[in-house]
Amino acid sequence: MKIVLVHGVLGAHLFGLQPYFNDVKKHLGTEFGAEVLETCLAAIGTVKLRSQQLRQQIVERFTATPDEKLILIAHSMGGLDSRQMLTDDPKLAEHVRSLTCVCTPHHGSPVATALDKVNPFPLLGEFANHVDAVADLSESGAKAIDRNCPDNPKIRYREVVGVGRDANCRTSLPFVLMKPFMRNSGVNDGVVPRTSALPPGRTLLEEVPGDHADAVGHDVDDFPLFRARTFNHLPVYSRIVQDALRA
């Protein structure tokens, strides 16, 4: 079994010495005997650039025509990267079993929309591909990607949605600071509204009682250890793989 973990914006090393997907690689390797690729994409690159890097890393690790269909699990922006890659490379898409997006802003984030209003990076020309993630994560940018990347009928697509730590969408400290931008977003994980993570046409696998970082196993209030304390995220990833195997 071959599994690809695709990280979100700000990079694979966002949580310091802890893996971005905290203990997920080891967990899936032990439970399923899986060979797991943890990707390392441009931290604030565009979806165009990151999707190309994702394809290259998959091809280098598993070869262009893997003998087993790949299971893709993507967090946040990584879901947009994965959808773009599958659209741009139909041959590689033939070797993908499933794509499960975890807290992916298919219709963007209000936080990114606010930042994009003062975004200077488009003035940088081609170099903007390396630094202009915020444009693709804005509501207008993400919706354009969503429209241009229809689902492949041969691939199983599922969504895991974060809904905050309680009925009031409580989040860890960094996401509390983003509350002014999320005021009118309804249920959300601190940065991605539920309506963006699960827009019309997407298929829900499950909702998780955590914020955007909890979904990958990091309680960022627990600095500097970043340990999973709010809820145990690892069974979620087991269920993702179990669901993918039904494809």
Domains of the chain: 2-244 (3.40.50.1820)
Higher-pLDDT residue of 146 and 131 is: 146
Q: How far apart are CA 205 and CA 28, in angstroms?
A: 18
Residue 94 — very low, low, confident or very high, per pLDDT cuts 50/70/90?
A: very high
Contacts of 175 (CB under 8 A, 6+ apart): 189, 190, 191, 211, 212, 213
Judge whether residue 111 has pLDDT over 70: yes
- Specify the pLDDT at position 129: 78
Residue 127 — very low, low, confident or very high, per pLDDT cuts 50/70/90?
A: low
Looking at mean pLDDT, say which of 58-62, 148-152, 224-228 comes out highest.
148-152
Q: Does the global pTM surpass 0.85? A: yes
Radius of gyration of the chain (CA): 17
Tokens representing 109?
Answer: 């984030």
Judge whether residue 36 has pLDDT over 90: yes
- Specify the pLDDT at position 228: 67
Judge whether residue 217 has pLDDT over 60: yes
